[in-house]
Structure formats: structure tokens, C-alpha cells
């Protein structure tokens, strides 16, 4: 048994399926001497198609973003043309008689080992470039859905990976994933967000797990306490299968409340909405009883797009997501790239010393102004398609008032551009995310420039606690129930309520049972969370009154440690909602 970070609650018993960044599938496949030529031809075809993709991408980025940002793809094309790189792959195919996919993987490992011996930053950057090229080549050399062994397709799969990137989720296609385990990540990593949005039990942060598990192993994932058991004995299996059935039964029972109004024990109405990444997530939010989408993360469109989404592509995407949203009630967040989410064509081929506090989100958008204006116009165009809808535009990582004023001017200019072009538009409420401590402390000064506020607790917590949420060494500090976090959240929520500006908390904290009670006590009535958490939060709301929540909050604010706050709330939940224990992560 190994322990990691519990990132998505529940129990899953299934068959391990190990993936890596560039090699999706089972073990390296040997080929016969008669298959060598066809495998070499297959690699050459993939190399040609990749080169054409890079050439197209270089031109598109040069036009939409700028020639300097497009230069990275010229570097990638030069590596792809380099005889040393291609010959190394071809030699492995011929001499070792292995597939092009396996040869590609081994070649990347060869360069990683070779350049790891050097302290030259340039060479280290080239390793990242080689990985990027390998991912593109791999897409033409394999199909994840087709490469899974037939005997595994019929079972419940537990995906094991170093990290689970958005592109990997797309590659997995329609595979039925029952659980997720990653070596890296935290409660707010890609894997965690994807798992929670689909209601899949998941554990992250288990260093070296890929060396201990093999595709085909029987495994148990406990997303409540962060444990993973590899090849358990029969007695252990029977015990966990029983708990797994109870988990599934509870989810089914809770899902039955989808059509009931969300309100507290004393009748206070709540707005429970979903956080989504795509159309499928928006439909899932509706199926779980959401009243709308409180956070549409548009960056996933960029992260999973083969090149650069243009204005028409973005417009079509936003229009489809709005159409799938309950009541067309949706908050669309502009591009939140940077930190742990990067794309090469926006200049993120170089590593920053402190990426979460550096060139990211709205700061990056300001620098690529024309590129940013394309997204704003696409959102305004999509909103105009739904005259009776409630479409809002949200800007991430706003720090000072000057930024918000500048953003409002850009929205006004984009609207004017559309009107001059004869394109229909409509006024869209504009809001900011509160995730930088400076904005939280001075929220009263910023409220004059916004129509609404969304609290991004994921980043706000890590900034307040000076603890990188993806670093397991300091994850014990990155806690939403920390006394300092609670005091800041209370101040922000009460400031917004005082002047009548709608405020929503859209971080992962919104779907956590303990945190929900405290937020309710602070005066928050708008919550946005992973769709899978909506039914349990709705049930919990019906079992607690606002008066009780305020009393618990007052007691929690008197506690001096995070553990004391946590224990206080754990005791309360055991009393008012003991059946929800299966839906919690420690």
C-alpha cells in the first residue's frame, strides 16, 4: 500500500493502466525483421505530417500572436529535420526491432540522460523541445483508445500517470476510467480537477508509483484517505468492493435531489453552480442539478487545441458551452495560462523561477493584447446569440484597480469593433477573480470597477500561505481551513455583500463539506464547484441553518490551528450528515 494526497473522494477497484506523457499504451512491442521497413515508413510519414503541422502552426502564431512567439516552432522543425534525432529513432527500429513508438520513447530517454549531465540551460531547454516534438509524433504513431488490450477494455480501468495533462485526457478518448493515480500533483492539479468534475476517485503525489505498478495489475484506489493498494489479497478486495458499492449507491441516492431547490434548513435559497472545462462538463452540471455554470475555464480549449484557436473557433466553442448550460446562466473566465498550465506559442518555452507569481493570466493577456482581444470579441459574439441568457465575463488574477479599469476599456473597444463590423453584440457583466492577497485586502477599492466578484480559493490559499500547492513538501500548509484564510475570506465576502455586489466562491473549497458550512456562515450564498459535488452539497445545505453556520464560524475563528478548525467541523458533520463521510477526502 502507498499513500499520497486524497484529491477526489470515493473508492475504485479495477485494473491498472499505466500511461506516460509520450507513450500511451502497454509495454514496448517487438516487431519482426519483415516489419522493419513498414515501421520505418510509418515513422517517416509521422515525421512529415508533424513537420507540416509545425509549419502551419508557426505561420498561424506569427499572424495571431507575433513572430517572436512563433520562433519556437522553427526551432522544433529544425530538431525534427536534424539527422541525429531521426537517425537515432530509425537505428533503434532497425537494430532493436521495436515499434516506432517505442523507439521514440527510448530516444527521448536517451536525450534526457545525455543533457541531464550538463548544467547548460540551453541544453536543458532543448530537452523540453524534444519532448514537445515527441508528443506530436506520438499522436500520429498511436491511438490511445485502440492500443489498450482488448481484455482491459471490458474492465474498470485505474489510470496511472506521472501527471495527467489535458492532452492526455483527450487521447484517452471514450475509455471508461474508474480511478486516477498520479506521481505528481495536488488537490488543485489537472488530474484532481478532471477527476472531481467526473466524480472519479483519485490520489496524487505518490512518488515512484510507476515503478511499482504494471498495466494489468489489480488495484484499489481510496480517494478518501489517499491510499492505493496494488494486487490486494482476496479479503482486502472483498472489503473494498463492499465500500465501493456503498459509494456508488450513495452517489445514486444523492443524484435524485437534482430537481429539488437548493436551500438551507431555515429556508435561505442558494445558487449552486458548476465549474466546467467543456461542453460535456456543462451537460454534467445540468444533470447534477446546477442552476448554471459559475466558472468556465476557457484555457482548456487552448491546452487541448492542436494549434491556436482563432476567433471563429472560439466563438463556436463558447456558443456550444453556453447552449449546454442550464438557463444559459454562465460565467466565462478569460485565458488563465501560466503557472502549471503553459502553451509554447505564448512564450512559455522558458522556465520561470516563480511561475505562479510571474508572467501568467491577465498579465500575459495584457502583453499579447491583440491575441487577447480576439477572445473578448469571441465571448461577446457568443453572448449575443442568447439574448435571454445571463452570460458574464470574468478576468483572472486581477491585482490592482488600474488593471480592472484597463480591462473594462478593452471590453468596450471590442464591443465597438464588433458593432462597426455589423456584428450583433450585447452588454456583458464584467467581474474579477479575487485570488491575489493584495486584491483581497483592498477589495473595497476594486468593487467600484466590477459588476461581480468570484473568489478563486485555489490560488488565494497558496498565495496567502506562501506554499506552492503542487509541492508535496509544503502541501500541509496549503489548507483552505487555515485561520488566516478564513479571516481573509470573511472580509472579502462581507465587503461584497455590504455594497450589493454578487460574490461567488469558485475554487475547489466550494465543494468541500467542512468549508461549505463556514462559507455559509460568512454570508456566502453563491457556490460553484465540480459538478459531481453538487448533490452532496445540496443535501448538506438542507441539514444546516444559516444561524447554526454563523455560530460554527464564530467558534472556528477562535481556533488557533488548522487542525482545531478541521476537528470542530468533523465533529459537526458526524452529527448532522454522517452518511456524507464516503464523499469526503481527508
The long-range contacts involving 31-39, CB below 8 angstroms and separated by at least 24 positions, are: 31/93, 31/97, 31/98, 31/99, 32/97, 33/97, 35/97, 36/93, 36/94, 36/97, 39/93, 39/99, 39/100
Phi and psi for 310 in degrees, rounded to 5? -85, 180
Please choose, from the candidates 275, 244, 158, 155, the residue with its C-alpha nearest in 3D space to the C-alpha of residue 529. Answer: 275
Catalytic residue of the set 90, 478, 496, 506:
506
Q: Please answer whether residues 402 and 429 qualify as being in contact, where contact means their C-beta atoms are separated by less than 8 angstroms.
A: no
Angle made by CA atoms 212, 214, 218, in degrees to the nearest 5: 95
Residue 201 contacts residue 158 (beta carbons within 8 Å): no
Are 209 and 181 in contact by the 8 Å Cβ rule? The answer is: yes
| Alpha carbon distance 447, 454 (integer Å) | 12
In the block, cell 527500429 appears at 93
Q: In b/e form, how buried is each residue of 321-356, taking b as 16+ CB within 10 angstroms? A: bbebbbebbbbbbbbbbbbbbbbbbbbbbeeeeebb
* DSSP three-state, residue 159: strand
Side-chain-side CA neighbours of residue 435 (13 Å) = 25
Question: How far is the C-alpha of 402 from the C-alpha of 397, rounded, in Å?
Answer: 13
For residue 527, the cross-strand partners are 272, 505
Q: What ranges make up the beta strands (E) of 460-559? A: 503-505, 526-529
Task: Please list, residue by residue across 178-199, b when 16 or more beta carbons sit within 10 angstroms of its beta carbon and e when fewer do.
Answer: bbbbbbbbbbbbbbbbbbbbbb
**At which residue does the C-alpha cell 477494455 appear?**
153
- Per the annotation, the verdict on 506 as an active-site residue is yes
Q: Per the structure block, which three cell numbers stand in for 418?
A: 464588433
The answer to whether the Cα torsion of 67, 71, 77, 82 is positive or negative is positive
Q: How many CA atoms lie within 13 A of 438 on its CB side?
A: 8
Q: Residues 6 or more apart from 119 whose CB is under 8 A from it?
A: none
β-partners of residue 533 are none
Considering the candidates 190, 348, 368, 513, report the single residue annotated as catalytic: 190
- Kindly give the residue spans of alpha helices, DSSP state H, lying in 368-482: 369-384, 401-420, 437-441, 443-446, 457-465
Could you list the beta-strand ranges (E) of 76-135.
none
CB 100 within 8 A of CB 31: no
Beta bridge pairs of residue 30: 98
Name the helix (H) or strand (E) containing 363: helix 361-367
Please report the DSSP string for 248-296 in residue order: HHHHHHHHTTTTS--B-TT--B-EEEEEESSHHHHHHHHHTT-SSEEEE
What positions carry a catalytic annotation?
A: 190, 506
Amino acid at each position: 500500500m502507498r499513500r499520497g494526497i486524497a484529491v477526489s473522494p470515493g473508492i475504485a477497484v479495477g485494473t491498472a493502466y499505466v500511461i506516460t506523457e509520450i507513450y500511451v499504451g502497454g509495454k514496448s512491442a517487438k516487431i519482426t525483421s519483415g516489419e522493419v521497413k513498414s515501421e520505418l515508413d510509418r515513422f517517416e510519414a509521422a515525421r512529415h505530417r508533424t513537420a507540416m503541422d509545425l509549419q502551419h502552426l508557426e505561420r498561424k502564431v506569427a499572424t495571431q500572436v507575433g513572430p517572436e512567439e512563433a520562433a519556437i516552432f522553427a526551432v522544433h522543425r529544425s530538431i525534427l529535420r536534424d539527422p541525429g534525432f531521426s537517425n537515432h529513432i530509425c537505428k533503434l527500429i532497425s537494430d532493436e526491432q521495436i515499434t516506432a513508438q517505442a523507439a521514440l520513447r527510448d530516444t527521448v530517454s536517451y536525450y534526457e540522460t545525455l543533457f541531464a549531465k550538463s548544467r547548460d540551460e540551453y541544453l536543458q531547454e532543448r530537452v523540453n523541445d524534444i519532448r514537445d516534438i515527441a508528443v506530436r509524433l506520438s499522436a500520429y504513431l498511436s491511438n490511445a483508445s485502440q492500443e489498450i488490450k482488448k481484455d482491459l477494455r471490458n474492465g474498470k480501468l485505474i489510470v496511472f500517470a506521472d501527471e495527467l495533462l489535458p492532452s492526455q485526457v483527450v487521447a484517452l478518448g471514450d475509455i471508461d476510467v474508474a480511478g486516477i493515480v498520479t506521481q505528481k500533483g495536488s488537490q488543485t492539479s489537472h488530474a484532481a480537477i478532471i477527476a472531481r468534475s467526473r466524480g472519479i476517485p483519485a490520489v496524487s503525489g505518490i512518488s515512484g508509483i510507476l515503478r511499482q505498478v504494471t498495466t494489468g495489475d489489480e488495484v484499489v484506489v481510496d480517494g478518501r484517505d489517499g491510499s492505493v493498494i496494488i494486487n490486494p489479497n482476496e479479503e482486502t478486495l472483498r472489503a473494498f468492493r463492499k465500500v465501493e458499492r456503498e459509494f456508488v449507491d450513495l452517489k445514486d441516492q444523492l443524484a435524485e435531489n437534482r430537481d429539488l431547490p437548493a436551500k438551507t434548513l431555515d429556508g435561505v435559497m442558494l445558487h449552486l453552480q458548476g465549474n466546467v472545462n467543456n461542453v460535456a462538463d456543462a451537460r454534467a452540471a445540468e444533470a447534477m442539478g446546477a442552476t448554471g455554470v459559475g466558472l468556465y475555464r476557457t484555457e482548456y480549449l487552448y491546452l487541448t487545441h492542436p494549434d491556436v484557436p482563432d476567433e471563429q473557433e472560439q466563438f463556436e466553442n463558447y456558443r456550444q458551452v453556453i447552449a449546454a448550460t442550464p438557463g444559459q446562466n454562465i460565467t466565462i473566465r478569460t485565458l488563465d495560462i501560466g503557472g502549471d498550465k503553459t502553451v509554447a506559442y505564448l512564450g512559455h518555452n522558458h522556465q520561470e523561477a516563480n511561475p505562479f507569481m510571474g508572467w501568467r493570466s491577465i498579465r500575459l493577456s495584457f502583453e499579447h493584447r491583440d491575441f487577447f482581444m480576439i477572445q473578448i470579441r469571441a465571448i461577446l459574439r457568443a453572448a449575443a446569440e442568447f439574448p435571454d441568457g445571463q452570460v458574464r465575463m470574468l478576468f483572472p488574477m486581477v491585482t490592482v484597480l488600474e488593471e480592472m479599469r484597463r480591462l473594462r476599456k478593452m471590453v468596450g473597444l471590442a464591443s465597438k469593433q464588433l458593432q462597426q463590423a455589423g456584428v450583433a453584440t450585447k452588454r456583458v457583466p464584467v467581474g474579477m477573480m479575487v485570488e491575489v492577497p493584495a486584491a483581497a485586502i483592498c477589495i473595497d477599492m476594486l468593487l467600484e470597477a466590477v459588476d461581480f466578484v468570484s473568489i478563486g480559493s485555489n490560488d488565494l490559499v497558496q498565495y496567502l500561505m506562501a506554499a506552492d500547492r503542487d509541492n508535496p513538501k509544503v502541501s500541509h500548509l496549503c489548507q483552505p481551513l487555515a485561520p488566516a484564510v478564513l479571516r481573509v475570506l470573511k472580509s472579502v465576502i462581507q465587503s461584497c455583500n455590504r455594497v450589493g455586489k454578487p460574490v461567488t466562491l469558485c475554487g475547489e473549497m466550494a465543494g468541500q463539506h467542512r468549508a461549505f458550512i463556514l462559507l455559509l456562515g460568512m454570508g456566502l450564498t453563491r457556490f460553484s464547484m465540480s459538478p459531481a459535488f453538487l448533490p452532496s452539497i445540496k443535501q448538506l445545505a438542507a441539514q444546516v441553518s444559516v444561524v447554526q453556520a454563523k455560530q460554527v464560524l464564530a467558534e472556528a475563528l477562535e481556533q488557533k490551528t488548522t487542525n482545531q478548525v478541521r476537528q470542530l467541523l468533523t465533529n459537526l458533520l458526524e452529527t448532522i450528515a454522517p452518511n456524507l463521510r464516503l464523499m469526503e477526502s481527508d
